[in-house]
Each structure stands twice: as structure tokens, then as C-alpha cells.
Chain A
Amino acid sequence: MTPDMASLVESDRVAGSLYTDPALFEQEMDRIFHRTWVWVAHESEIAKAGDFKTAWVGRRPVIVTRDRRGGINVLLNRCRHRGASVCETPKGNGNGFTCPYHAWSYALDGTLRGIPYPEGYEDVVEKKDLPLLKLRAGTYAGMIFASFDPDIEPLEDFLGGARLWIDRFMKQGAGYPIKVQGEHRFRFNGNWKIQLENTTDWYHFPIVHRSWMSSVDAETASMLSIMTDETAVTHALGNGHSVSISVAEHADLDVDDGTEKLQDRFGHIAEELSKDMPPEKVRRIVRSLHGAGFNLNLFPNVAMSMAFFRVLRPLSVGETEIRHVALGLDGGPEIVNRERLRIHEHFQGPFGFGSPDDAEAWNRVQRGVAGGAEMPILVNRGLGREKPNDLGQATSHATDETGMREAYAMWKRMMTDAE
């Protein structure tokens, strides 16, 4: 039976079944993940011709490649013959992909190059008719997205109001391009939307992350004292996207009135950089060490969250994989990139001081919601103080649930448009 989509999501609440109903999950794959733009890679991960990495669009496995002409291709990782995956190497460099089953071989752009013992296919198969299925690919500021819908709206239109914040996020490179430095990967026993909500949920931060807060220096803890900070706000950016600003003075890292004191914890780095860099460049880099002062949530699967990317992969209605992608400065000082790795390790991953506590909370949501799929999940925090900003974007405090309401409005639009 098809649920009545429109009744599942109201402006201030969503049905618990959104986390638990397997039929809804299947429809989400078809109507959201297979129709919209889904993030698959950052350009630095496939910088050179021949580079590739594997990824997923919904549950479908894909390969992201850089071909010999420098083009970016997103290919379904499925042989056109009998369906085997043609690449099980998570990342690498090569000339193409050969199916292990009957050795059909494909070029980096998906073209079918070779079929062994082709006489059996005479008058049956033309190689040009059977390339790896190619998704529509688009990039913005180094972020690579893909879609199964060949007629999808341009990526720039889909990102819309989020583009300003993507541009601002990349400023943490402090003059260097951003590069991927590695990733932590873990799973939790809960629905993907629990994680989708979390990126702009600063309400949980001082509660769930007490142990992390108590382990960092006072300046870092103070920087994230969001509950009482009136400059910490969330904007709904349209199309399900939202941004939640935690450190307003780092929202645009190019803006610096010179009053901010650099954190003592980075003193040794400033000292080292000062040996061969002018003071203003040192300051620009050190101010950016914690990343941008906000979490940008891009519907449906990626967030640009202070200093890292958070990528979610729905596995089933009750299981989700999370990747926390560490970022660095491409060509930047080694001491800076190492410090960024250490900051990432401190919070993220299955042994971090932050992620395991998030995962515990999310697991508990999934276990609890089983107690009443008909009972609503409340996303009404801050409704009474939500107002449009000068761009007309719904805006409220960073601890409010404006970002979740924006994501669920998009969910509702995509799930009902298709009906």
C-alpha cells in the first residue's frame, strides 16, 4: 500500500514511519536518490588522468573517473553483459576496467573496448551499444555530483542559495585549493535522515559532545558555545539545503577585522609558518585551522561541516554508512595539514571523541521510534522565532530546527511530485 506522502510530513513534525517503513525507503531511493544530484567525490580525489574512485548513488555502485582528456565520468559499476561489478578497488589509477567474469573491458569513459571471442556476438552485439551506463555528472567548486536523471535541472540551479556557502567553505584553503586527506567510515543502526537532520542540529552539541568539549582547550570550547550566542543562526537555503552558523566570525574567512586573537593551541604552528611567510598569510592560515564557521547541509547526502565533508549512504531503512572526509591544503604547509588530521582524528571516526557519541544517540532514535511509528518526530524548535532574512530565507537560532524543516519540505516535494 502506498502511504499518503503528504500527510507524513507537516511543517512542524514528521511521522515516525519515515525512519522505519521499508516501503518508504524503497520509494526514497527511486524518487530522491535516483532523481536528484547526489555527491560522489571531490575533484582532488581524481586529480590525474586515469584516477578513479568508487562511490554510491543511493544503493547503486558507481565509479568516478578522470579520463585521458581530463573529463569526469560517473559510471554504473555493472558490466553490461551479466551484471558483475567491474571495479572493486576503492581508489586507484588505471586505463579502464575489465570485468572479471568474461573479461569485457571498458575505457575510463565507459566505452566498451573489448569482448573476448567476439565471433559469438557476430550480428548480435555492437560494442558501441553497450558502454557502462553513464550518469549525468556535474561539478561545482570541486564538488562532483551525479544523477541518474539525464534531464535533471542544472547543478548550479539545484544548489541555488547553497553556492555562496560552498564558496565560503572553500576559503578555509587560505589561498590553497582544498584536497581530501583521508576518511573515517562507520555505520549506525538507524535511518539516513537521522544523520541528515544532525548536520544543522547544534542543539545536541553541548549535550552529546560534553566529553569532547571537556577534552579540548578552553578557547575551542568557548568558540563553540552556541547555546548563548545570538550570532549563531540557521538559514534555510531552498531545495532542502540549509546552513547553520556556529562561529559567525569565521563564516567568511576573508573577512577579518584584526580583533580576533589566534588560539594558543596553534602557537607552535604560527611560529613555524612565520619563518618564511608574511604575518598576514600566517594569520589567514591559522584562523582557518578549524575550518569554516558553519555546517552546510546539502540535500540529500553530503554536508560541508566546518573542516570536513560528511557523506551519508543509505544501506537499508534502518542502517546507514557515514564517511567523514578529512580535508587539507593542496600544496600547503605540511605542519598545517598534519594539524588538520589531528583535529579530525580527535572528533571523528569510530574511535573519535565525538562520532561514537553521535552514533549512540542515533542508534537510540532508531530503537525508540520502533515504539510508535504513528507518533510524530518533532522538528518544531524555534518556529516561534523563525523569520526571513534579507534574502527571504527562513532564519532562526542555530539550535533551532529550521534546517530539518527545510530538508523535510524538500523530501515531501520530491516524494509527492512523483505521484
Chain B
Amino acid sequence: MPSEALSDAAVEAGLPFDDPQALSAVSLIWREAHLLDARRYEEWDALWAEGGEYVVPIDRDATDFASHLNLVYDDDRMRRMRIERLTGGLSISAAAAARTVRSVSRFVVTDREADAIEICSAQILVAYKREETFVLAADVTHRIEFGADGPRISRKIVRLVNSEDSVTASGFLL
């Protein structure tokens, strides 16, 4: 959710360092950031739980994504097609993808279930391509499920600060 919408109690509690589930989720989120910067998309796909939802909305306040226009609105099938597009050699923008370095921090645990946790964070991504360096900043919400195979991403919502304006992106994923 947008950072301004977080409850005071959640912000106060932040990321409890004595909570193994929360730390395991953060570890997964950092690993995910690394795989996306390295463009290791097949390994990134393996981080997802079956039925995962990956959304980059335009309207930062939207929660009913299906009835809104989004930048990305992926189920398993679309996400895998997206990976095929980025790795399959048919896309000229993917072939000329910007180099990215991203940092994810400012973690706040916003929800818990018996076998799942929701964590909001800030992501700053710097991208470089052909003499230009640009920044994309976003509030990110992850829902991480803990199943028999360990933690998996079941939901990821990336709310760019400038989602309603022009968005510059080239051949990479948020």
C-alpha cells in the first residue's frame, strides 16, 4: 500500500528483528531484488507461489486491479509469457535492456496470517541505458506464503511514485 496509508501501529512495530518469519520474508525480498537486477528471470519465477499476482498499478490507491488499467497485471500465465519475452531473443527493447541497481528497505510488517505475512517496503531503482541514468521509486507490498517448499511470493504490488505520469522503463522488471 502507499506508505502514507500505513497504520501508526504497523510503522511503530516496523520489522521485528526477533521474528524469524519476518526476517525470512525480507531475505526472500532481497534475493528477489538481486535476481531482477541480474535479469535471472527463470530463477525469479521460482520464487513465486502458484496463483501469484504481480501488479504495477497506475492508480496508487486502487485495490480492485482487475477493473483498472495497470502497467503490469500478471497471473502465472502472463508472468511466464513476460519472462519468455525478456529472455526469448525476439524483443529489441529486452535485448537493449537498461542496467539496473535497486535497493529495497524501510520494511513494515502490515499483516499476518498463520502461514503468510504481508510486508511493505520502499524500492529505489537506478537504471542506466545509453548515456542516460534515471531513477524509479516505488512503495512495494509483498505477500509471502510459508508452505512446504519454504517462503514464496503470492502477491507483489509495486506502486510507483510517478505511476500516473510518464514512466520510463526499458527491458527490466520492477
Question: A residues touching B (Cβ–Cβ < 8 Å)?
Answer: 90, 181-187, 189, 208, 210-212, 214-215, 321, 326, 334, 337-338, 341-342, 344-346, 349-351, 353, 356-357, 359-361, 363, 367
- The A-contacting residues of B in range 88-131, CB under 8 angstroms, are 88, 90-94, 96, 130
Q: Is the CB of B88 within 8 A of A211?
A: yes
- B84 partner residues in chain A, CB cutoff 8 A: 214-215
User: Most chain-A Cβ atoms within 10 A of its Cβ — which of B69, B82, B168?
Assistant: B69
Q: How far is the CA of A356 from the CA of B171 in the complex (A)?
A: 7
Q: How far is the CA of A215 from the CA of B83 in the complex (A)?
A: 11
Give the Cβ gap from A355 to chain B, nearest Cβ, in Å.
9
Q: Is the CB of A361 within 8 A of B85?
A: no
Q: Is the CB of A345 within 8 A of B169?
A: no
Q: How far is the CA of A417 from the CA of B78 in the complex (A)?
A: 51
Interface size grouping (class) on chain B: 20 to 34
- B69 partner residues in chain A, CB cutoff 8 A: 181-184, 326, 341, 344-345
Q: Is the CB of B73 within 8 A of A345?
A: yes
Q: Is the CB of A357 within 8 A of B93?
A: yes
Q: Which 9 A-B pairs have the closest CB atoms?
A: A182-B69, A211-B91, A356-B93, A350-B169, A211-B90, A360-B93, A210-B90, A350-B167, A215-B81
Q: How far is the CA of A210 from the CA of B61 in the complex (A)?
A: 34
Question: B residues touching A (Cβ–Cβ < 8 Å)?
Answer: 56, 58-59, 66-73, 78, 81-82, 84-85, 88, 90-94, 96, 130, 132, 164-171, 173
- B165 partner residues in chain A, CB cutoff 8 A: 185
Given contacts A90-B164, A367-B130, 7 further A-B contacts (CB under 8 A): A184-B69, A214-B84, A337-B67, A341-B69, A345-B73, A350-B168, A356-B91
14 A-B residue pairings within 8 Å (CB atoms):
A182-B59, A182-B68, A184-B71, A185-B164, A185-B166, A208-B92, A321-B166, A345-B69, A345-B70, A356-B91, A356-B94, A356-B171, A360-B93, A360-B170
Cβ-closest chain B residue relative to A214:
B90
Name the one of A189, A215, A359 contacting B93, with C-beta atoms under 8 angstroms.
A359
Q: How far is the CA of A346 from the CA of B73 in the complex (A)?
A: 9
- A214 partner residues in chain B, CB cutoff 8 A: 84, 88, 90
Cβ-closest chain A residue relative to B69:
A182
- B90 partner residues in chain A, CB cutoff 8 A: 210-211, 214
- B91 partner residues in chain A, CB cutoff 8 A: 210-211, 353, 356-357
- B66 partner residues in chain A, CB cutoff 8 A: 338, 341
- B72 partner residues in chain A, CB cutoff 8 A: 345, 351
Give the Cβ gap from B93 to chain A, nearest Cβ, in Å.
4
Q: How far is the CA of A334 from the CA of B59 in the complex (A)?
A: 19
Name the one of B58, B132, B169 contacting A356, with C-beta atoms under 8 angstroms.
B169
Name the one of A182, A326, A361 contacting B92, with C-beta atoms under 8 angstroms.
A361
- B130 partner residues in chain A, CB cutoff 8 A: 363, 367
Cβ-closest chain A residue relative to B89:
A211
Name the one of A189, A208, A215 contacting B85, with C-beta atoms under 8 angstroms.
A215
Contacts A186-B166, A215-B81, A215-B84 given; indicate if A350 touches B71 (C-beta within 8 A): yes
- B170 partner residues in chain A, CB cutoff 8 A: 356, 359-360
Q: How far is the CA of A348 from the CA of B74 in the complex (A)?
A: 14
- A357 partner residues in chain B, CB cutoff 8 A: 91-93
- B92 partner residues in chain A, CB cutoff 8 A: 208, 357, 360-361
Give the Cβ gap from A240 to chain B, nearest Cβ, in Å.
26
Give the Cβ gap from A206 to chain B, nearest Cβ, in Å.
11
Q: Is the CB of A351 within 8 A of B56?
A: yes
Cβ-closest chain B residue relative to A313:
B166
Name the one of B56, B73, B166 contacting A187, with C-beta atoms under 8 angstroms.
B166
Q: How far is the CA of A186 from the CA of B66 in the complex (A)?
A: 22
Cβ-closest chain B residue relative to A353:
B85
Contacts A185-B167, A338-B66 given; indicate if A349 touches B71 (C-beta within 8 A): yes
User: Most chain-B Cβ atoms within 10 A of its Cβ — which of A183, A187, A356?
Assistant: A356
Give the Cβ gap from A51 to chain B, nearest Cβ, in Å.
17
- B173 partner residues in chain A, CB cutoff 8 A: 351
Q: How far is the CA of A175 from the CA of B8 in the complex (A)?
A: 50
Cβ-closest chain B residue relative to A187:
B166
Q: How far is the CA of A133 from the CA of B89 in the complex (A)?
A: 52
Q: How far is the CA of A259 from the CA of B94 in the complex (A)?
A: 39
Cβ-closest chain A residue relative to B84:
A215
